[in-house]
């Protein structure tokens, strides 16, 4: 059975391939695609079949999907272009006779008012209309969204946001990747909708206080308006559009848009999710190193 992972040059896609191999799936049964196959040469060296494909090039997708039984569609990163890109993937999967598609979506995509949710909701609708057997992997935020800011938070003594007292069920990419590998490789997931997030949600104030404790430094959470947080992100060098999307994420976070307590993630992986303290310890060690 051929299992294909799209976006394998990205963090999540690569981790899914790693997880499949660690779970005993033969490398010869795994196909990894990327726009630049040389960027995943390490997977080819491990015996994974590497193919070139581009979400914007339907013919490349059709060629890459030949002989594939089950496919993981890792959502594209180009906000504003993803509906067209995902349409290409779904149509190519149907044309190639792929038997199952798993899609990495976002928390409660069918009802969320997050800016980021619109394209995910549209993709879920495309999958439903396609008739392809599929499963929805609705991921909350990545813990890396916060651990990646450790150096800056320590430098300025502050975690910035516009999330108020909202709780986020952020989990690591590795946690989400393990769940995706389980669904891609295993039977019985057709029609499933998984709301995926950590076992222990947290507020950004709790995130800041945890960082202060594990680092021994003074770190506080500074809650800003959505407008001021957007401006702060732009001042930090982010493009206006991207900053606005991130700030909108905090707006939704404040209202519970990225909270889930289903336990789906730990049930799928068969282990507890990675806690924020553990993740911050690891990030701090890497920062010091």
- CATH number for the region 3-139 comes to 3.40.50.720
Report the C-alpha gap between 6 and 63 in whole angstroms: 13
Determine the pLDDT at residue 243: 94
Determine the pLDDT at residue 287: 77
> What residue segments make up the domains of the chain, in order of their start?
3-139, 141-172+196-261+270-289
Please say whether the structural domain 141-172+196-261+270-289 has been given the CATH code 3.30.465.10: no
The Cβ of residue 130 has, within 10 Å, a number of other Cβ atoms equal to 15
183-203: average pLDDT: 97
Q: What is the pLDDT of residues 210-263, one digit of tens each?
A: 999 999 999 999 999 999 999 999 999 999 999 999 999 999 999 999 999 999
At a CB cut-off of 8 Å and minimum separation 6, what does 253 contact?
Answer: 141, 161, 163, 166, 167, 168, 204, 259
Determine the pLDDT at residue 144: 96
Global confidence as pTM: 0.96
pLDDT tops 60 at residue 179: yes
CB-count exposure of residue 238 (10 Å: 0-12, 13-18, 19+): middle
pLDDT tops 80 at residue 289: no
Q: What is the pLDDT of residues 31-84, one digit of tens each?
A: 999 999 999 999 999 999 999 999 999 999 999 999 999 999 999 988 889 999
Determine the pLDDT at residue 288: 64
């Amino acid at each position: 059975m051929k299992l294909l992972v799209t976006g394998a040059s990205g963090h999540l896609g690569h981790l899914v391939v790693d997880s499949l191999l660690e779970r005993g799936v033969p490398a010869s049964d795994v196909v990894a695609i990327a726009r630049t196959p040389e960027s995943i040469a390490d997977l080819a060296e491990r015996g994974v079949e590497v193919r070139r494909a581009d979400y914007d090039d339907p013919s490349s997708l059709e060629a890459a999907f030949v002989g594939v039984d089950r496919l993981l569609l890792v959502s594209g990163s180009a906000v504003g272009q993803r509906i067209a890109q995902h349409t290409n993937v779904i149509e190519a999967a149907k044309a190639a006779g792929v038997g199952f598609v798993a899609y990495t979506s976002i928390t409660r995509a069918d009802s969320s008012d997050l800016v980021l949710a619109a394209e995910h909701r549209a993709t879920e609708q495309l999958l439903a209309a396609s008739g392809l057997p599929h499963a929805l992997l609705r991921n909350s935020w990545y813990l890396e969204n916060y651990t990646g800011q450790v150096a800056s938070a320590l430098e300025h003594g502050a975690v910035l946001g516009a999330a108020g007292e909202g709780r986020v069920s952020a989990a690591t990419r590795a946690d989400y990747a393990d769940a995706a590998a389980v669904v891609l490789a295993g039977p019985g997931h057709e029609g499933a909708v998984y709301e995926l997030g950590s076992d222990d949600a947290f507020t950004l104030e709790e995130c800041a206080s945890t960082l202060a404790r594990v680092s021994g430094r003074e770190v506080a959470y500074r809650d800003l308006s959505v407008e001021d947080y957007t401006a702060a992100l732009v001042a930090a060098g982010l493009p206006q559009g991207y900053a606005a999307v991130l700030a909108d994420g905090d707006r939704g976070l404040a209202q519970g848009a990225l909270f889930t307590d289903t336990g789906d993630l730990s049930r799928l992986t068969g282990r507890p999710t990675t806690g924020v303290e553990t993740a911050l310890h690891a990030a701090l060690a890497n920062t010091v190193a």
